[in-house]
Every structure is written in structure tokens, then in C-alpha cells.
Structure 1
Amino acid sequence: MSSDVEELGEGHSPAAWTAVIVALVGIAIGTVAFVLDVQWLVWAAAGLTLVGFILGWALARAGYGVNGSRTQHKEH
């Protein structure tokens, strides 16, 4: 059965993976810092999480997003 609907790829791209991994590292560091009551590190981790999302956006704009010009397309 063939469909004319274009598959979006569900975010499987270098840009998405980079954004999620950097953000998760920031959240993990921030959680530990919050429990240990290290306020400056909580804010630094929040900044790292934000940097992760900005990095993902920038990589997507540079062609590393879903269906980007610099990504390899997989045939299913």
C-alpha cells in the first residue's frame, strides 16, 4: 500500500540527537546540583540545557536536521 504522505523522520537527525543529549546532560547535572544545594551549578546547568536546544536549532538550520541537505536519507 503506497501513501503520498511524506514521512517526517520523527526527529532522527544529528541536530535532534545533539540537542537532546546536551540538554539531558544539563538536566542531570542540574538535578544533582539542586540536591546538593550548589546554586551556581544549578544555573550553569540550566544554561547548558538552553545551549543544547540552541545548538540543535543551529545544526538544523545548517542542514543537519530531518531531511537536511547534509544528512543521509535512509530508504525503508
Structure 2
Amino acid sequence: MAAAAHGHTPAAWTGVVISFVGFCVAGVAMIMPNVVLVIAGLAVVLIGGVVGKAMSMAGMGKQPSKNFAPIGAEERSAVTAG
């Protein structure tokens, strides 16, 4: 996977870090029964996904590889069928 740069982008790292912080907030809030903080943590998790997608769309995500040509539908079906 390292050759495909899967997840090794600023967009991916930023989205994951924001989501992780939200997950930690929600987890701590579950232990100290605080419903408002749990909902806030879950909202931060969702915001992390939105920020990651927005950064990816802004060009900070995975760029198309120059080493491989895109394959057509016929070639793809031949690869998966065989």
C-alpha cells in the first residue's frame, strides 16, 4: 500500500487527527455521564470527515499517479474475471 500513498496525505492525516480528538472527547464524556459532551465529541468526529474530504477536494489529497495509465472498463473486467 505504501506505493499507492494510501492515506499518506495532509488531508488524510488532518481528518484522522480531528476525528481521533472527537472520539477521545466522546469516550471520556461517556465515562463521566455527560450527554452534551458525547454529542459534541461525535460532532467533532463528523467535522473531521468533512474537513478531510474538503482538503482532498482542494488538492491536498492523493494525486493521480503518473506511473500508471488508467485502465478502461473492458480491461478492468478482464482483470477481475480472470
Both proteins in one fold, TM over 0.5: yes
Asked if residue 62 in structure 1 is aligned to residue 51 in structure 2, the reply is: no
TM-score for both structures, normalised by structure 2: 0.72
- The equivalent position to 2:34 in structure 1, one of 22, 34, 38, is 38
Name the aligned partner's letter for residue 64 of structure 1: M
Match of 1:71 in 2: none
TM-score (norm 1): 0.78
Root-mean-square deviation (CA, aligned residues, Å) is 1.1
Matching residue within 18, 24, 32 for 1:22: 18
Counterpart amino acid of 2:61?
G
Percent of pairs with identical residues: 35
- Return the index of the structure with the highest Cα Rg: 2
Alpha-carbon distance in structure 2 between the residues aligned to 1:65 and 1:8: 12
Cα distance, 1:41 vs structure 2: 0.3
Tell me if 1:11 matches 2:7: yes
Aligned-partner Cα distance in 2 for 1:66–1:8:
9
Unaligned runs of 5+ in 2: 65-82
Query: Which ranges of 4 or more aligned residues in structure 1 deviate by more than 3 Å?
Result: none
Shift of residue 11, structure 1, vs aligned partner: 1.1
Runs (5+) with no aligned partner, structure 1: 1-6, 69-76
